[in-house]
Amino acid sequence: MLRNTIVRRPTNLLDDFFNDEFFLPSLPSQNHIDVYQEDKNYIVEVDLPGYKKEEISVKYDQDLLTVSAEHNEEKKEDNKRYVYRSRSCSSFTRQIRFNNIDAKAIDANFCEGVLKVTLPIHNGNDEAKQIEVK
């Protein structure tokens, strides 16, 4: 007869405290992205909640659109003695290949947590371009 035995390690107050759900890292949220064609443009919409416009980079080079964002946050309160301290850091990068884009006319707008990139369809050679996020 087999018997299932649960082996428990000795409990430590600090181990129990930090293994609580409150301190476990949350799963990264999925940044939703939509790509569609509208008239003579491709439109890319990316959900980037919590990011600021200055933290977002959009670049188009050799038929490759790269959207990236990075956010770092550290709260300091010097009057406390910490047992546990957390910092927040998140980043996002997505690359999508497009053909026949007029790189000079690419436009990017960030409003209410959604980045919208408009890529005009064009036939011809394109150059690398860093796109200003408005």
Distances (CA, A) of 56 to 6, 52, 89: 49, 7, 14
Per-residue pLDDT tens digits for 86-128: 666 778 899 999 988 998 999 999 999 999 999 999 866 556 6
Per-residue pLDDT tens digits for 55-69: 999 999 988 999 999
The torsion defined by the Cα of 124, 125, 131 and 134, in degrees rounded to 10, comes to: -10
pTM of the model as a whole: 0.65
CB 118 within 8 A of CB 41: yes
Q: How far apart are CA 75 and CA 44, in angstroms?
A: 33
CATH of domain 30-74+83-131: 2.60.40.790
For residue 24, what is the DSSP state? S
Kindly list the domain boundaries of the chain, sorted by start residue.
30-74+83-131
- Percentage of the chain surpassing pLDDT 90? 41
Q: What is the pLDDT of residue 118?
A: 97
* pLDDT exceeds cutoff 50 at 22: no
